[in-house]
Amino acid sequence: MKKTILLILITASFLFLYSCSKKNNITVEKSSEATSPVQTQQELILTPLQNLFTKTGFQLPQKNLASIDFKLKDLTGKTVSLSSFKGSIVFLNFWATWCPPCRAELPSMQKLYVKYKNRGLVILGVDLQEDENLVRDFVKKNGLTYPILLDSNSQVGQIYGARSIPTSYIIGKKGFILARTVGGREWNKQEIYDLFEELLKK
C-alpha cells in the first residue's frame, strides 16, 4: 500500500507543474491569476472546457488522473470521504487560517459555493495541521458554510502534493482530476462563473 501511494505521488509530481516557498513544510502562494497555462498543453488540441481552464490559469493533467479517495473529519466530528461526492463537481481546496492568500480568497469561494451549491457543486476546504477549535472559530467568524475538513497531520495534503497553499483541485463527476491551481484568486469573477457553468451542465 505504501509503495502504491509513493508511486502515485511521484506520478502526480510529473503530471503537474508547480512552484513553492517554505513555512512549516507548507508553503504560501500569493496569486495564480497571473500564471500562464501549463506549457505542455500548448501542443495539444484542447476541448472547450480545457480552454476555459487554461484561460483562467488552471493547470491540466497530461493524462487521465483519478482522484485519490480519503476520509477526514469535519468540524462536527463527522467522517467525510471524497468518494461520497461522486456524481458532483468537487472543488477541493487546501488551506490554513495563517495563510494570507488563503484568507483573501475565502469570501469569493463562499460566494461561488452559494451560487452553485444547488446545481451540484461541492466545495471541500481541507485545513492543514491546525487546532480544531481555532479553525472552528475562524470559520464561524468568516461565515463559511461549505464543509471544512481537518487534515491534522497533513497526510491528505501530502498525497495531493499541496506543498504550497492555497492549492485547489477541480474533480469531475466521475472522480477524475480535471485541473489544479496553486495560489489565491478571486472566485467570483465572470470567467470563473463561465467555467463552472460549463462544468455543471455536463
Integer Cα distance of 159 and 51 in angstroms:
27
Catalytic residue among 52, 102, 109, 121: 102
DSSP 3-50: HHHHHHHHHHHHHS------STT-EE---STTPPPPGGGGGS---HHH
What the block records as the C-alpha cell of 137 is 472559530
Cis peptide before 166 (omega within 30 of 0): yes
Q: What residue ranges in 59-187 does DSSP mark as E strands? A: 71-74, 79-81, 89-95, 121-128, 148-151, 164-165, 167-171, 177-182
Q: Which residue in this structure is represented by grid cell 500564471?
A: 35
Known active-site residue 102: yes
DSSP code of residue 117: G
Question: Which positions are annotated as active-site residues?
Answer: 102
